[in-house]
Amino acid sequence: MKLNYVDHISIATKDVKRAEGDFSKALSIEPFMRYTIQEDKINVVCFRIGETVLEFMEDTTGDGEVAKFVYKRGEGVMLISLNVDNCKNALEELKKNGVRLVNNEPRLWKEYNRRFAFIHPSEMHGVLMEVIDGSYPK
């Protein structure tokens, strides 16, 4: 599998607006994108740093995966995402290598036509990793 670059790093936070303000002020940078995914129960704000995006995520319902993460571990890095040429092919290679996956088939981020899947944290020493193809809008 060809790993292209770190696509994004997702940071779980209790308050995405506060995180946005703190990050913008500290580094004199403005977000390039905001979005909500109802199905995943998250609000997200994104900052581009070179090819990599930093995402700050907050839970919208109190019972989603971000809320569970913050409750268990506190605010912080929740996910590291690796850009690949083809997510389905990357999953096949990971399966062939005996890697435990959260998703056996790619999920589709339809707004941006990007496919992604998660590697189980037990395989990556406690870090939730993702493989994703495509790219963010410029």
3-state class (DSSP) for residue 97: coil
- Residues 46-73 pLDDT 10s: 999 999 999 999 999 999 999 999 999 9
Is-contact 21 6, C-beta < 8 A? no
H or E segment to which residue 19 belongs: helix 16-27
Domain 3-132, CATH: 3.10.180.10
9 to 42, 93, 98, 128: CA distances (angstroms): 15, 23, 25, 10
Q: Taking the model in full, what pTM does it have? A: 0.93
pLDDT of 34 reads 96
What number of H helices and E strands is found in the chain?
A: 3, 8
How is the chain split into domains, by residue range? 3-132
32 Cβ partners below 8 Å, 6+ apart?
Answer: 46, 47, 48, 136
Mean pLDDT of 90-111: 95
